Structure 1
Amino acid sequence: MREKLTFFVRRLPIKWKLMLGAAALIFLLFSTYNYAQYLVLKHWMMNQEKDKIQVNMAQLQDYFQEKSNRTDAFPVADSRLYIEKLMGKNQLVRILGKEGEILLTVTNHFDESWIPPKSVSVSELFDITHLEDHILVYRSPIVTAQMVGTIEVASNLETFDHFSQTLLWVMLIGGVLAVFISGISGLALAKQFMRPIRRLASTIRSVKEKGLTARVSKIENGDELANLAQLFNELMNQLETSFLQQKQFVEDASHELRTPITILEGHLSLLHRWGKSEPDVLDESLQASLQEVRRLKGIVQELITLTRVESNSLSENVEPIEIEPIIHETAKRCEVLHPDFEFIESTQSLKDVRLSISPLHLEQIMLIILDNAVKYSANNKRIEIEAVRLRNDVQVSVKDHGIGIPVADLPYVFDRFYRVNKARNREIAGTGLGLAIAKQFVHNYRGVMTIASEENIGTKVTISFPIHPNIE
């Protein structure tokens, strides 16, 4: 039975669990408080009844003592009028002799047979139940100059019991109403709390059925559920961006790989048909095939490099190095490779500046940036290299005066295989992976890489590395 109940509760929707939980909690709190209040009130009212009956007993004791002192002979029966005035409704007063014989009985809506007479030597106060009646009895011995006996005072607690039952019913009804109201309120609050979760679940179903474009709408700011929905939207934005980038990568990689493969296939077919007997065709086809194989090898090598860069984070054990000589040596290498270009350096402010970066990685970053600047320069073959030290970081910029990048293409230049349309031709070598590799290197060293460009004016690439506090 317990397992079935547990299974049933687990299968309930969250809003019903919240409602039942709130109702159960209110019921426990209300019932505990009401029961404690009921016991306290009942105990207090019983003490009040005991105080009243004790007061009556004390008055009777004083009355008989006074009468015994005033007269030599005082019949007990003469006290009836006084006792009738003293006693209340539903009470009994009985005077017993020394041997327990009844000397006087005065009742007011009270059946004297309910209480058998009994002589006592010490006072006793107790309550008994006779059939449906609850009776409070007080017996006390009395000793005067004229008599020795017992006074019995009994009170029917009918009013007390009626009030207790009424109080109990009021508390029970109030408890039921409180539980009902708390249940309705808990259900309303649960629906309110579950609204963002239902929207989130609906959005997840939409994502499952329609793709990554669905988002949680009507997010109300201020609580944790709204923050959860906002976080889900941000996560979906990142996933959609990553998905689109991967899709674009597959399309671009297919395009880049299909071209050399198609060329290789064409030349191999040509060799198969004519190359065996035509030396010129054989030589031309072999040269073209080797060129395309080298191109494929370069693409594969750069993909491997990019994968390694993305999988490796910054090493905390990299020794600080002076970066100005590396930048200078890299510029000189490019100048030797491209003697028709002018490389203008302005790196004096980086004298003795040290950064925690691998010299090979810094050299590769600079070679990629400088190689792009050379490729896309037009008639103005001047490339400016500028480095400055700011308060908390170092900035190195490379500026060319070439064909520039259209504004629409700027957000995508760091994507894999992405090449500006003007550069998508066979005359300019490249795979479109260089900037992606450079940016990942910079990112691994907690740096930032940005590009600013204007068409037919030039492009400026800026990299920024933070200076570690312990490195001077």
Structure 2
Amino acid sequence: MLNKLALKIGLLFFVFIVSIELFLFSTLYFTFVNERVDEVMSNLLARGNTHSEVLEDSFNDTTLSHVAMMESSSDFIVIITDEAGKELTHSDQIELEMREVLGHTDIKEVPEQGEILEDNWQDERFIATDSPITIGGEHQGHVLMFAETSQIKEMVERMRNQFILGGLISIVLTVITIFLLSRLITLPLIRIKKATEQLGKGQGGVALDIERNDELGELANAITRLSTDLDRLKQERNDFLASISHELRTPLTYMKGYADIASRPGLSEQERQEYLAIIREETGHLTVLIKQLFELAQLDHNQFSIQRELVPIDALCHTVASLVRPAFDEKNISLTVECEPDLTAWIDPARFQQVLLNILDNARKHSEPNTSVTLKGSQDEKSIFISVTDQGEGIPEKDVPFVFDRLYRVDKSRSRMSGGSGLGLAIAKELVESHGGRISIDSERDAGTTVTIQLERGENDAENPIG
């Protein structure tokens, strides 16, 4: 059963092509018919002219009899008259229709090259021509040639039948061709429709193997890529939900467990305070996690406002360093700031402070005591760079592409206290990209890590020369 689209396309092509075929066949038919009829007329007139030329050379009874006898064995009829129209001889019996032609012919008029007396082959029984006999400049008679129109009608009928047969064959071939073409065009569309319905139902794994180098092929490839992306996003969503469930369940379990212990009778005040401190610590972890999740949700829905202003990068770096330095000193990690003094950028200072805090906190957690971390700001003609370099444990090459993914931890065995929630770098990436920048990471196992932020220099940075 043809689908609706294939049927519509097929009918449209059929009407269009058949209309063209009818026009072409009609034009060819009438052209051929007219040419063949004109050819018969011309042959009849030429035959009469030939006889008149013979009679002009020898106008006598013998020649007249010879002409009549010659035409008696042909499909034509000849009547030869004198200049007054009196019949001298004829090859066959003169029919009534022939006399009617003679009756309305002006015998006294002498055509120079002969003329066609009757050409209405469709309604008359005979067609006729008149070839004058002129001897010594004087009119001596007429050679009248007649041919039955039945022969022309039979010829036209044969041509009509041939054209009808050819037309029917062409229509059949057209229908077959249109059917195949419409299916060829619509089959990919049908497969694409089914694929989109499958995607609409939430079913993944759609693969359209449509090898075409046109717009349909591009559409099929786009849908296949969309299906792949949706499958990936679905898997990421499931992984994210599983991870966040674990992240929420762990502190809640601690809080419930220690709350139960703290409520037991017989505990000393010191033990109760220790358990309450653990509960407060887990509450803090849970608060930070929920805050980060809320920030990510705002970023996903473009609800995170960016208030840009011209910010001195050197001052921003020193401000951030002063905020985190106590935590670095506690772990005996040296924090150094290296920044060009005249470096400025159009950014949101509060958001970028959050970015640098997340990156520096990540560097601190993954650095050993007695190592150093460097916060550096630089620029070239096109970009502004802010980087954080540590001498920590580094990241395995296989994990580098995923460190900005949400809730991703390189070392799955690290605790939340030492490894964080896995959301800091994801938030940093979103915030940097919301400024039109890029963030990248370069790391080698046991050789340290460098996180680099690149901001394009815009027109507003033109006033900031490279010193």
Distance 1:278 1:143 in 2: 154
Deviations 1:311-332 (A, max 9, x none): 3299999455443432343234
Partner of 1:175: 167
State how 1:15-414 maps to structure 2 within 5 Å.
25-55=16-46, 79=64, 81-82=66-67, 85=70, 89-94=74-79, 103=87, 106-107=90-91, 112-117=95-100, 118-121=103-106, 125-128=117-120, 135-138=126-129, 153-189=145-181, 211-217=203-209, 220=211, 222-270=213-261, 273-274=264-265, 279-280=269-270, 283-312=273-302, 318-319=308-309, 321-335=311-325, 338-339=328-329, 340-348=332-340, 352-414=342-404
> What is the rounded CA distance, in whole Å, between the counterparts of 1:261 and 1:317 in structure 2?
36
CA distance in 2 between partners of 1:199 and 1:119 (Å): 76
TM-score (norm 1): 0.76
Asked whether the equivalents of residues 382 and 456 of structure 2 are also in contact (C-alpha less than 8 Å), the reply is yes
Instruction: Give how far 1:271 is off.
Output: 5.4
CA distance in 2, matches of 1:116, 1:332: 130
1:5 matched to which residue of 2?
A: none
| Alpha-carbon distance in 1 for matches of 2:223, 2:277 | 54
Distance 2:448 2:359 in 1: 13
- Asked whether the equivalents of residues 240 and 407 of structure 2 are also in contact (C-alpha less than 8 Å), the reply is yes
Paired residue type of 1:395: F
Q: For residue 232 of structure 1, report the CA deviation from its aligned partner.
A: 2.1
2:384–2:454 Cα contact (<8 Å) kept: yes
* Partner SS state of residue 377, structure 1: coil
Give ranges in structure 1 of 5+ residues lacking alignment.
Answer: 1-7
Aligned-residue offset at 1:422: 5.4
Asked if structure 1 preserves the Cα contact closer than 8 Å seen for 2:376 and 2:387, the reply is yes
Give 1:211 deviation, angstroms: 4.5
Give the SS at the match of 2:408: coil
Q: Residues of 2 paired with 1:209 and 1:360: CA distance?
A: 43
Q: Is the 8 A contact 2:78 2:90 kept in 1?
A: yes
Structure-to-structure mapping, 1:429-468, within 5 angstroms: 430-468=420-458
1:421 maps onto 2:418 in alignment:
no
Percent pairwise identity: 24
- C-alpha separation between the residues in 2 aligned to 1:295 and 1:315? 25
Greater CA drift, 370-379 or 322-331? 322-331
For residue 236 of structure 1, what is the amino acid of its counterpart?
S
Residue aligned with 1:453, SS:
strand
Letter in 1 for 2:328: H
In the alignment, the residues of structure 2 paired with residue 331 and residue 30 of structure 1 have an alpha-carbon distance, to the nearest angstrom, of: 84
Identify if the C-alpha distance between structure 1 residues 357 and 63 changes in structure 2 by more than 3 Å, giving closer, same or farther: same
CA RMSD of aligned residues (A): 4.4
Cα distance change of structure 1 residues 147 and 425 upon mapping to structure 2, 3 Å threshold: closer
Letter in 1 for 2:90: V
State the one-letter code of the partner of 1:420.
V
Query: Which ranges of structure 2 fall in alignment gaps of 5 or more residues?
Result: 110-114, 463-467
